[in-house]
């Protein structure tokens, strides 16, 4: 019986993986410009990290985690999101003591969630994310949003829509929480079981419910904007001012709450406003999470970040017809005539690669004609033809595949000629 790939996963094959590599290179280059440094955390962590950090009222913790017991009976979970592991590392490695503050980190990580697979959404997917820990400056919020926008623009996406909101500080959220309870409680029986459980514990989650999103009470629910205290409102105004100064267009969406419990103050999403992309248009989401570091056992530390799925991004690029500048370069293909030339080509191939060139030859015993076809398919810039005469004379015939020009070059000068 054949063994098939698990549902909700995919093989990334040659011909596809080059797009991934290009996107990752753009992310790394952009983070370098913004002075973010890469971090890599384990693929699995203690389950308690996500229960405590993400929140036990979230769909992630309640329904979507891949959790297992190790051989000593400890509960472990495959990483369902990127922020909590980074914060755990920040606390455990005492990064709050670093001389350079704030600590600015980025990651490219595999994420695991047990959910219904659909276009651009997999049970194992890949995420690019950034985290800034240690700064409460509203300018940091604007910088993180600008990095995400710059990333999408650099890749060629044009129809972007940026939505921002503020969830306020603890006092603002408490006032809003009571207003939501009073609003939903009389008719909470009309909502799904999850929403009924969330009413007292975290009524904000009701606003993010996918089951009851068309319920009339969601449309008339109290807005957090109306419950922001003066300090929170001033802070949010600063974020908007900085976005305006950078020329980043946005809209304030009072219903934007995000799906994780740790958010407060600024939250944001970036969507693709393009026909044919589907009902779920969000490409990136993030926000501020002051208080998360303390929940995970660290000192009082403000933080903000975002995460975006690369699978969704690739789907967006396809929807908008963006062609990534992927170029497969083969500097030289060696075509051999006869067994002696084939043996000699091993060293020549080694010398070309040692000189920093990409080079290849036939390993399937093909005819010379078939070797030329293989060279053409591989996009080789030059073909070097090696036979008995070339071995005797110490010269090799080199063909420029773009111009069809052929010249004879000393074997020891082959690498220099191709480079030149």
Percent of the chain with pLDDT over 90: 74
Give SS3 for 36: coil
d(CA 190, CA 400): 73
Q: Please tell me which residue, 222 or 130, carries the higher pLDDT value.
A: 130
Share of the chain above pLDDT 70, in %: 98
Classify residue 335 as left (phi > 0), alpha (psi -120 to 50) or beta. Answer: beta
Closest listed residue to residue 283, CA positions, set 308, 260, 250? 308
Domains and their CATH numbers in the chain: 17-169+229-319 (3.30.930.10), 330-419 (3.40.50.800)
| Confidence class for position 304, pLDDT limits 50, 70, 90 | very high
Predicted TM-score (pTM) of the model is 0.88
How many CB atoms sit inside 10 A of residue 396's CB?
Answer: 26
How confident is the model at residue 261, as a pLDDT?
A: 63
Total number of residues shown for the chain: 420
Give just the sign of the alpha carbon dihedral 179, 185, 186, 190: positive
The pLDDT of 30-54, averaged and rounded, is 95
Asked if residue 86 has pLDDT above 60, the reply is yes
* DSSP state for residue 118 in the 8-state scheme: B
Residue 386: pLDDT above 70? yes
Please give the pLDDT value at position 255. Answer: 80
Which helix (H) or strand (E) covers residue 151, if one does?
helix 138-155
Residue 259 reports pLDDT greater than 70: no
Lowest pLDDT segment from 69-78, 257-266, 278-287: 257-266
pLDDT of 161 reads: 95
Is the model's pLDDT at 316 over the cut of 90?
yes
Our CA dihedral for 57, 60, 62, 65, rounded to 10 degrees, sits at -150
**Per-residue DSSP letters for 372-388?**
HHHHHHTTEEEEEEE-H
> What token pair was written down for 389?
């005469």
Mean pLDDT of 117-126: 87
- Average confidence score pLDDT of the chain: 92
Q: Provide the 10 A C-beta neighbour count for residue 61.
A: 21
The predicted-structure confidence for 193-231, as pLDDT tens digits, reads as follows 888 888 777 787 787 777 877 888 888 888 888 889 999
Q: Which helix or strand (DSSP H or E) is residue 24 part of?
A: helix 17-33
Edge-to-edge strand ranges of the sheet holding 67-69 = 44-46, 75-78, 67-69
């Amino acid at each position: 019986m054949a063994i098939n790939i698990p549902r909700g996963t995919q093989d990334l094959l040659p011909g596809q993986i080059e797009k991934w590599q290009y996107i990752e290179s753009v992310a790394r280059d952009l983070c370098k410009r913004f002075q973010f440094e890469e971090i890599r955390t384990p693929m699995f962590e203690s389950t308690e990290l996500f229960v405590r950090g993400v929140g036990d009222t979230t769909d992630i913790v309640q329904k979507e985690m891949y959790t297992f017991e190790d051989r000593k009976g400890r509960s472990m979970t495959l990483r369902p999101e990127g922020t909590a592991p980074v914060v755990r590392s920040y606390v455990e490695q005492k990064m709050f003591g670093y001389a350079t503050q704030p600590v600015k980190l980025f990651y490219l990580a595999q994420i695991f969630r047990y959910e219904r697979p659909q276009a651009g959404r997999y049970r194992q997917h890949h995420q690019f994310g950034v985290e800034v820990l240690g700064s409460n400056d509203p300018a940091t919020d604007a910088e993180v949003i600008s990095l995400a926008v710059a990333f999408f623009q650099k890749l060629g996406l044009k129809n972007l829509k940026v939505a921002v909101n503020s969830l306020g500080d603890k006092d603002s959220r408490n006032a809003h929480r009571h207003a939501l309870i009073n609003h939903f409680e009389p008719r909470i029986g009309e909502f799904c079981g999850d929403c009924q459980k969330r009413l007292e514990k975290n009524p904000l989650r009701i606003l993010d419910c996918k089951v009851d999103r068309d319920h009339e009470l969601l449309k008339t629910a109290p807005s957090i904007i109306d419950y922001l205290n003066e300090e929170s409102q001033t802070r949010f105004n600063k974020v908007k001012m900085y976005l305006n100064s950078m020329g980043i267009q946005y809209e304030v969406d009072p219903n934007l709450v995000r799906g994780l419990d740790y958010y407060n103050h600024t939250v944001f999403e970036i969507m693709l406003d393009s026909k044919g992309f589907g009902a779920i248009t969000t490409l990136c989401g993030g926000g501020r999470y002051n208080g998360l570091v303390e929940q995970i056992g660290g000192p009082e530390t403000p933080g903000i970040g975002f995460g975006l799925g690369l699978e969704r991004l690739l789907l967006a690029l396809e929807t908008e017809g963006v062609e990534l500048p992927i170029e497969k370069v083969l500097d030289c293909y060696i075509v051999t005539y006869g067994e002696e030339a084939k043996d000699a080509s091993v060293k020549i191939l080694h010398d070309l690669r040692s000189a920093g060139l990409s080079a290849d030859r036939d390993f399937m015993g093909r005819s010379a004609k078939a070797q030329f076809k293989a060279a053409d398919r591989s996009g080789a810039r030059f073909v070097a033809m090696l036979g008995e005469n070339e071995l005797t004379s110490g010269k090799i015939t080199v063909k420029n595949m773009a111009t069809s020009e052929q010249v004879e070059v000393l074997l020891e000068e082959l690498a220099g000629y191709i480079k030149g």
